[in-house]
Amino acid sequence: MQQTGSQILFTALKEENVDTLFGYPGGCVMDIYDELFRQEIRHILVRHEQGAIHAADGYARASGRVGVCLVTSGPGATNTVTGIANAYMDSIPVVVLTGQVPTAMIGNDGFQEVDITGITRTCTKHNFLVRNIGDLHRTVREAFQIARSGRPGPVLVDLPKDVIQSVTEAELPRTVVPPAEEGRPDLEGLCTEALKMLLQAKKPLIIVGGGVILGKASEVFRAFVKKFRIPVVSTLMGLGAFPASDPLWTGMLGMHGAYSANMAVSHCDLLIAVGVRFDDRATSKVEAFAPHAKIIHIDIDPVSIDRIVRTDLAIVSHCTPALDTLHRLSDEQGLTLPERQIRAWLNQLRQWKAEMPLSYCRNQNIKPQYVIEKLHQLTQGRAIIATEVGQHQMWAAQFYRFDEPNAFLTSGGLGTMGFGLPAAIGAQVACPDRIVVDVAGDGSIQMNIQELGTIAHYGLPVKVVILNNLYLGMIRQWQELFYGRRYSQSDMTQAPDFVKLAEAYGIKGLRATKPEEVKRVLQEGLETPGPVVMDFHVEPEENVFPMVKPGTPLTEMAFGNVRAVA
């Protein structure tokens, strides 16, 4: 039977159980879009290609599946580069399908030609230029395997127009050659050694990172923690892997981490890092990081081992088999941590949490932290929260208190403004029965605000909460603290009326300017069917605290004039 390249592409996508594409058509992918007209795969037409890649990213984070986006050549492809780099930094499995000029024209500066495989070589796990229709099916299947295997990440497949238009009668392969077997360590031996170190510890601590969520290991992680009653701190990307409502939860560590979490890391005698890459925002001054601790590092990526923080024991493995093995060995040998051995440590952690909880000062203006607290209360902590990047991102991380994995979608490694709204679109498509909220700043939301057109087009019930302080808030905070309050180009006073803008897209817009209006606006916005934009005019010069100045130890935390809320 004759098949075109476009038909082979959709056959491969169906075999990978792809149900949704996020994309934007163009000249070099017209044949793919013509074939799409005959297919049952859902397509979400975004308003900008950056929206497509971020939406595919959000879909992947919320669902745990590979996200897919489809764009044309040239500017369509280059508009995805920021999103590809974002997915690469945060280890998110996405497959990016890009159009390309016909193979005979490649290298001749044809209309809308760019070397997208060359451009993205350093920010993809792998990329492909398909030069022959006979390679198309295998290449697409391999792209998905690479994206989700090992440490996940983005894979790009560049599709020349003539390959897509070509016709073949060759049968498609029934099976796909599996990727090379990854080297596995002696898990039993290494886990036995880890348990010996744990049983000797008097101040044990676990750092949980995004790898636990990506590896679908949250359940086994929680079981291991409960068995040994080890206190837990989290990186930004690990929020939700362990319940923030659990007494063993000690907080998020790092630049804007909780006092209790940073103190715990700085005073523990054993640190078990699971699915963590020791980002600089988490460690701050590396020489002073966990200075009294032996360190066990469990991670799938051998490149992450000893790259930043020197470890005493490295276990290169997926989180699930490593944690399963630890749990099984401890059961077989009847191993536990006597409570008396770590009682003083647990009491110390409780004291640190009580001494300096995350807090803020109230006044006559809306405090952004209060908005997040009320959002958590009204959603009962069950919403999927996407964020842009900036102060609002940190307030969401600090005050929403995540109990479940795959519920906090944020740009951690790259810090990409404009991520949240399209990521929320992807999450809402993946999880239609969940409440999905984009927590945004007035600066970040304008980076991809055109995607309001996408949520209006499809009637997606995404709720947008804008913490509007009329500044590029995090830039302004640093200018206040480190640059003598010289607010150079961080003033965003000339901003749109977000309520009117929402209404222009056919979306309900709400606004709160006083603290007493916050609960009502949130309730109305959450209860309204369909998309809603909520504009909260918050304290203009509110800062994110605690804060660790870059390059200083985690124990050197600034609190401003924060005090506990009565």
Query: Helix and strand tally (H, E) in the chain?
Result: 22, 22
Which is the catalytic residue, given 15, 35, 112, 145?
Answer: 112
H/E element holding 316?
strand 313-316
Give the Cβ contact number of residue 483 at 10 Å.
12
Question: Who's near 303: CB < 8 A, 6+ residues apart?
Answer: none
- How far apart, in whole angstroms, are the C-alpha atoms of residue 550 and residue 70? 39
Which is the catalytic residue, given 7, 16, 49, 374?
Answer: 49
Q: Hey, which residues does 315 pair with through a beta bridge?
A: 298
Half-sphere CA count of 272, side-chain side, radius 13 A = 27
Residue 494 is a catalytic residue: no
- How far apart, in whole angstroms, are the C-alpha atoms of residue 61 and residue 408? 9
Give the Cβ contact number of residue 308 at 10 Å.
15
In Å, how far are 319, 384, 410, 494 from 91, measured between CA atoms? 14, 19, 12, 36
Residue 16 is a catalytic residue: no
- How far apart, in whole angstroms, are the C-alpha atoms of residue 462 and residue 451? 11
Which is the catalytic residue, given 111, 219, 523, 559?
Answer: 111
Q: Are 419 and 388 in contact (CB under 8 A)?
A: yes
Residue 228 is a catalytic residue: no
| Buried/exposed 321-356: b ≥16 CB within 10 Å, e otherwise | bbbbbbbebbeeeeeebeeeebeebbebbeebbeeb
Q: Hey, which residues does 385 pair with through a beta bridge?
A: 408, 437
- How far apart, in whole angstroms, are the C-alpha atoms of residue 109 and residue 81? 20
Residue type, 326: L
285: left (phi over 0), alpha (psi -120 to 50) or beta: beta
Which is the catalytic residue, given 417, 474, 492, 547?
Answer: 474
Q: Are 511 and 535 in contact (CB under 8 A)?
A: yes
Q: Nearest-CA neighbor of 140 among 250, 263, 6?
A: 6
Q: Are 59 and 93 in contact (CB under 8 A)?
A: no
Residue 417 is a catalytic residue: no
Which is the catalytic residue, given 3, 113, 128, 161?
Answer: 161
Q: Are 252 and 261 in contact (CB under 8 A)?
A: yes
Q: Hey, which residues does 387 pair with through a beta bridge?
A: 439
Helices (H), 215-279: 218-228, 259-267
Residue 111 is a catalytic residue: yes
- How far apart, in whole angstroms, are the C-alpha atoms of residue 531 and residue 493? 26
Question: Which residues are part of the catalytic machinery?
Answer: 49, 111-112, 161, 474
